[in-house]
Structure 1
Amino acid sequence: MRGGTWNTFAPVSIVPSEFGGNNSWKEFVIYCDFAPDDEDQFLGVENFTPSITDLYIDYARVAPLSSVPFITSEQIVDGTIQNVDIKNSAIQGGKLADRTITGNKIATGSITGNEISDGSIGTADLGNSSVTNSKLADNSVTGNKIANGSISGADIANDTITSQHITQIGIQTFNCTWSGYVNNFDAVVNYTCPGDKVLKGVYSTHDNGREDRRFNFQCCSMRLK
């Protein structure tokens, strides 16, 4: 009995012909798995043949089922052990073959910095867009980390670049284009360089009769030297 519930084993028959003679014994074994914290353990036998006049249970030989090595890997059919058959924390690291654990086996948030060896994460291990601004230490991004042409005007906050920065770092223009004349004589001039380009040059044509000019603007992209 375990926890108030009877566990019934398969019947075992012992007949007189199996005994060698008077006062001889017939021994059979019932394997029971008693956990260390089980209470009210009881082992009993019922419905035995009346002609057997004595019954003896050797309680001193009752041992946990786990100590009886009668199940080996050869007795287990491949693929028959399911998750419910495995006790929690029963599988240790030594049981895992190298490189058998894939990403879908790892629970979300289960790996912290302590589980990652220094220098073990390479560029190929990083997913696209996986490194955000919060992951970058202050002053860790230098000019040689930035690809040519990758910084546009939209990436630069207002009033952040001074003449000192331009002198120290060096900025060059590229991909320059002329707008063509953007106005007629005696008309208003209102022009903005397209996209993130900056104004580099201005060319104009004067008409003495109209005493006015037509303007042509050169716009360029900028990048660090």
Structure 2
Amino acid sequence: MKLTIFDCDGVLVNSEEIYLAAELEFLESIGAGFERKAYMQSFMGLSPGMWEAKLQTCVEAKTGAPLPRDFYAQIDRISTVRLEADLAEIPFARQGINKIAILRCVASSTPSTRLRWKLQHVGLIDLFDPHIFSGDLVANGKPAPDLFLHAATAMNALPHECVVVEDSVNGVIAGKAAGMRVIGFTAGNHCSADHGESLLRSGADIIVENYDDLAAAIERFARPH
């Protein structure tokens, strides 16, 4: 292995649990409630544009009416307030990342400005800067492989030399579509007990539950079979 590609939300920072709570609460308030596990599998990891389009369709099917005109603005306002108050690194992220001997970068569906803010806010940006790749760099977001392939090219690595660390079904699908090894990472509090099974069904090569075990898992990929 030459390159480790990290997702951000739910892998480096705890933003997924913040987003999920805000989105599910607000959807419930407008009569468009979702079961948490089904919502995570369908929507987590998508680019903002793909999330909005898919959610619009699903909510209209549930309620028979379009989303309120200010829906996305309200969700963004609620999420931003909670992120500013509660955003933190996933436990032991810095220590775990520092043990990984190969090149590393971030490839996240989050737009560039918000992505860099998250990493700066929790004090992890120095581990990756300038190798931070956002969904607005490519035409097709996850679950398409475009962002991971863009990151590999920028880092001068071939797909088979890359291992992706992902917590979402859509991210796992993207990593496998890119021809990369994929670690399903379940250290975040948003991951239920059976979340790893969902990631394996989506194509993850292995599941890693915490940062203590991540470096060893990546090293195993590098050994000849």
For CA contacts below 8 A with separation 6 or more, give which structure has more relative contact order. Answer: 2
Q: Say which structure is richer in helix.
A: 2
Q: Which has the larger radius of gyration?
A: 1
TM-score when scaled to structure 1? 0.19
